Structure 1
Amino acid sequence: MAVLALGMIGAVEAANEVTTTSGASIVLPSDGSSYTLSTNTTVQSFTVNNSSIDFIVEANSVIYLTSSDRKNFTVNNSQCGTSLVCGASASNIYISCSSAVTQHTITLTPSGTCSSQNGGGSSSSSGSSSSPAITPSATPVIVTPVIPAMPAVAPAAPSTTVAPSASVTAPAPSTSVQPASVVEFSHPESAVQIKGLTSPVFQQGSRLKFSFEFKNENTKTIPVKVTRQLLDGNGKVVKSSVLSTNLKANKILKKNATETISKTLSPGDYIVVIKIVNSKTKELLEENGFKITVEKLKKKYFVLAEETPIATAIAFDQAVWNKIKTNIVLPANFKFKYSFTNNTEQKQTVRMVRELIGPNEKVISKSSGKWVMTPGEKDSLTPTQAVAGNLTAGAYIVKISALDWKTKEILAENQFGFVVELK
């Protein structure tokens, strides 16, 4: 039995108990393939099998899984909207359940390699269709919520049950984690705590954002000088900034740092160092830092889904879809056409909502309109969707929802995906 320790939100609720705030990686024993479960994934629980993963989902559950091997995914027994994005370096599957979904089990089965055209693509449907690694045994691993940090957990002897209160002894982090996706700190036990970093890889011209804090454990106020430096691979100082202040006893110094990576900075490995010195005695009080990799500036490309989603009461027009230009540099705009059919025997007043949802599952833009429809009536709209140049690389969802104007009940939903890809 192996219990996966997931980062939890503040309170554990009965519904959607497993919420990954730090992400998790899963290794399937059938072929050794690994998958990254994105942060903000929210499900009741999930089970890692020999060659598949079972997710127990409920209303408002979200699953976001990435395969660096560009695996294709088969989705079985799903009542939720699904989007598969096939990129040049990874494939992503995004499953979003509406508030009307009842509890059920979704099975994801990876296989082969996803299909893409000119380096990328995605497909969507509605209904069926980096972190420490966990290598399970052939016996299914039932994952239940516990409250720990994010250790790697090695499987123990097979078992059929998992007690919710089970404790886990964390071994050393797995070597299967790719260094490019993990932030490495020079002094992990340092009193200088660095937070807010999600990746150590940056492009020329991008912004490096993080925060750090240091607590004065002394009983007296001390004058401190905080030096932040960017060092190249040879230890040469590329950029430096200094802050001086008086830090009172038992108080915490908290600072947000924003560093623009120069477009002229040579690609390669660098180190960000933070040193805190007693400015009176010149004593080094604490030090910490982390490695970053600077990549050559790449262009962002818009890559659309290869096929229109399966039609619900909301359907997308294939002829208009086929005219959309894909694999083009951002910023970009495209038009698509969708329709909604009133399949009831009553007049409906509907709020039609269009949302652009980003890789972090947050709504980037939202628009809505009022449709008054007679029984059996079918109406359509051809909006222009903007894909801004400042969007980060990753998978995006365009979601169309039909809601009852008065009750706000969801009458129908459909969605499709696209990817912003760096090339």
Structure 2
Amino acid sequence: MKQDETKQKAATTFIDNLKLPVHGWYRYTAGFSAQWAESVIETEHVRTGGKDDFTVLDPFAGSGTTMLAADQIGVSSIGFESHPLVNEIAAAKLAWDTDPEAFAQKGKSIANIAAGITDPMYEYPAIVEKCYSKENLQEIDKLRKALERSADDTPEYKLAKIAFICVLRSASHAGTATWQYVLPNKTKTNVSGALKAYLHQIDVMASDLIYMQNSGAVKQSNILEQDSRKYREGMNDKIDLVLTSPPYANNYDYADATRLELSVLGEIKGWGDLQDIIRPGLVRSCSQMVSKEKKRTFEYLEDPILAPIHDEIIDVCQRLDEEKEHHGGKKNYHTMVALYFLDLAHVFRNLRAYCKEGSRVCFVVGDSAPYGIYVPVDEWLGRLAQSVGFYDYSFDKTRDRNIKWKNRKHRVPLKEGYLWIEG
């Protein structure tokens, strides 16, 4: 019984995926169990008659858990992921049908090119220099240059690039926060040499490709760089099951979590680039993303799409606006909450168009209490879904949250679980 309870609690986290082939290549900050996803997809496929055109959509695809699970079951799937780096990682995972030997040759040829590079090192942002020893940064720089010189559109190259991205944390002496923020001032003792770690990752990934190709999986997945708040043509009445975990309304910065990788790759030079390049495509779930919108908070709340929760969300946002004056950071949680639900309301409107009659939607969600003010996330999302044409909703709790840590910022009990929506 205890084991079943532990397994149920882990189903809403990514932690078990780290032990799985392909899934474990890159530790994503948020997600859910691949094995749980497989069981849901299989159950829903059977429920709808096991039809050949059964299709799963994950509108917040992250690093590809849902699509890999769908491939394992042998059904079609589509993922939307608007974070360009995370999308790239997911696309590489979904290239599991690549020839393992050709990939290994490509990866090792890149390592050989790197070993012969004598060019002066690129200039890197301060966060990169703080995170690596001089020797490891030199190896990383050479690998980056070798990748740039070897760039092509083949799956072998895309996988080799992801192998490089996957070792950037293990080659760093910087600590990592629980949700993968880099902490340059905290150090760890177990640090890998970058080139050695890269070659090891190539071997691991080649073995994983062989495993997947012998597992009975069928490649029917597709990942798109798509903002799920924006309607996509050609998707109407295509989807039987939506299976996803949207960003939580808990002030976690999904853009900042990839700052080290983006900085090493030369995609960004500093904080401002995150704001301009990465954040515009993401659901507004943290206060860092909404500071420019704070003056219009209550104007946004008058959008007709929020009518089903209008009075309650205005009350919560007013209380958050007042409460922030009693805190040093004066964080704009009221704006974050307003825009989070506005964004998700637009997502649900699009999902209703995409979903077939009789479809089901499962959102892995957790509620929130910024500054200790409770936000009933599952209830509000359920009502927003109903308002655009979904029929009913229910919530299955899998675990309690905010009950463990002594340094937690408030004492409001929270929960996490599955929001089921009937279409």
Normalised by the length of structure 2, the TM-score is 0.25
Q: Which has the higher contact order (CA 8 A, sep 6+)?
A: 2
Normalised by the length of structure 1, the TM-score is 0.25
Higher-Rg structure is 1
